[in-house]
Amino acid sequence: MSLLPWHENVAEALAGRFADGRLPHGLLLTAPEGWGLQILANWLALHLLGMEVDRSADNLAHPDLRWIKPEGAVIPIDVVRALVTFSTGTPQSASCKVAVIVDADCLNRSAANALLKTLEEPPADTYLLLTTCHAGRLPPTIRSRCQVVQLRPDADLAQRWLQQTVAVDDLALRLFEHGGAPLAVAEGVAGGEVPLGELLDQALGSRQPGTLIQPLLEQGLVNVTGRWFRYVLAQASDGNRFPALAELSPRRLSTFAEELLWVRRQLVGSNSANERLLAERLLDGWRSLGQQASVTA
């Protein structure tokens, strides 16, 4: 799992601090979604263990490594308790132990509290690497006990990398849809993703918008809501994205944007959200906006 161009400066700095014995034992790695935060965490974990860094750490059986990720939408307390036990042991084959907590914002309250003492007084031979794209969702007590490492987006590097990686004629549109996130664009292209704007145009003019539910679900509704939200904000700003909505007031678009955010919260925060029903709800609301715009016109 190779580093990406925008990772290299951060990786070099972290490696230097480790070599000098100055790397903190509790790190909080943050980045916007779609910039390869887990790739950086994977590289760092393997580097600390003295292993080849092009391997995938999340399924690697190594006695001095723990790779923790959410179970659905939550990291439960029993997983953290096992991590605490792991951190108190001695390294078995490497010079240190490493634990990676992916999407640490999914720690439930009990799990976060169980982690505090280990973060505050980590064993000298243990490194705890927490990753999150939503640092604000972490309890302040967790954030304050970690050294924050921010992976900052670099739009120029990302575009150059994409131009060498994907072959599409609408790269600018796809970057807009995904908020400039290069990995999200590359994954979408690789998965045959249809630009969302085309589907939303169809939904506005369709008498049977339900036929578009499956295409939305196939792209992942969490993914879709983020891209849809960007289109709605752009429409409210310039009125040019969807001609059928040109006469619609920004207030009504803002109300629908809030609906998108609500649906996204249901999907991210629950293991039992019904994606199909939520997709139907959004499409019905979207088509209703088109009807309101036609009456206004």
pLDDT of residue 12: 97
Residue 247's pLDDT band, with cuts at 50, 70 and 90, is confident
Identify the band that residue 212 occupies on the pLDDT scale cut at 50, 70 and 90: confident
> In the predicted model, what is the mean pLDDT of residues 226-235?
95
For the segment 235-245, the average pLDDT, to the nearest whole number, is: 89
**Amino acid 290: pLDDT:** 86
| Domain shared by 271 and 219, yes or no | yes
Provide the phi-psi class of 52: left if phi over 0, else alpha when psi is between -120 and 50, else beta: beta
Last residue of a domain, one of 126, 153, 180: 153
Q: Please report, for the domain that includes residue 42, its CATH number.
A: 3.40.50.300
**269 within a domain of the structure (yes/no):** yes
pLDDT in tens, 25-70: 999 999 999 999 999 999 999 999 999 999 999 989 999 999 999 9
**Mean pLDDT, rounded, of the chain:** 92
| pLDDT of residue 150 exceeding 90 | yes
| Average pLDDT of span 158-174 | 94
Residues 179, 255, 279, 262, CA torsion sign? positive
Of the three residues 95, 124, 153, the one that is the final residue of a domain is 153
pLDDT at 209: 64
Give yes or no for residue 194 having a pLDDT over 90. Answer: no
| Pair (123, 207) in one structural domain | no
Distances, alpha carbon 209 to alpha carbons 65, 119, 123, 283, in Å: 48, 50, 57, 7
**Count of domains for the chain:** 2
Do residues 36 and 142 both lie within one domain? yes
Q: How confident is the model at residue 270 (pLDDT cuts 50, 70, 90)?
A: confident
Please check whether residue 279 lies inside any domain of the structure: yes
**What is the DSSP annotation of 71-101?**
BTTBB-HHHHHHHHHHHHSPPSSSSSEEEEE
Single pTM value for the model? 0.88
Listing DSSP states for the chain in one string gives -PPPGGGHHHHHHHHHHHHTT---SEEEEE--TTS-HHHHHHHHHHHHTT--TTS-GGG---TTEEEE--BTTBB-HHHHHHHHHHHHSPPSSSSSEEEEETTGGGB-HHHHHHHHHHHHS--TTEEEEEEES-GGGS-HHHHTTSEEEE----HHHHHHHHHHH---S-HHHHHHHTTT-HHHHHHHHHTTPPPHHHHHHHHHH-S-GGGGHHHHHHT-HHHHHHHHHHHHHHHHHHS-S-GGGTTS-HHHHHHHHHHHHHHHHHHHH-SS--HHHHHHHHHHHHHHHHHHHHHH-
Rounded Cα gap, residues 206 and 151, in angstroms: 42
Maximum average pLDDT range among 195-199, 238-242, 266-270: 195-199
- Give me the mean pLDDT over the 79-97 stretch: 95
Q: Which positions ≥6 away from 133 have C-beta within 8 Å?
A: 30, 31, 32, 33, 37, 103, 105
Report the pLDDT value the prediction gives residue 95, as an integer from 0 to 100.
Answer: 94
Which residue, 121, 153, 185, sits at the end of a domain? Answer: 153
What domain range is 214 assigned to? 194-296
Residues 143 and 199 in one domain: no
| Residue 297: pLDDT over 60 | no
Residues 34 and 99 in one domain: yes
Do 134 and 199 lie in one domain? The reply is no
Average pLDDT over residues 110-119: 95
Task: State yes or no: pLDDT of 203 exceeds 80.
Answer: yes
- Please indicate, yes or no, whether residues 131 and 11 belong to a single structural domain of this protein: yes
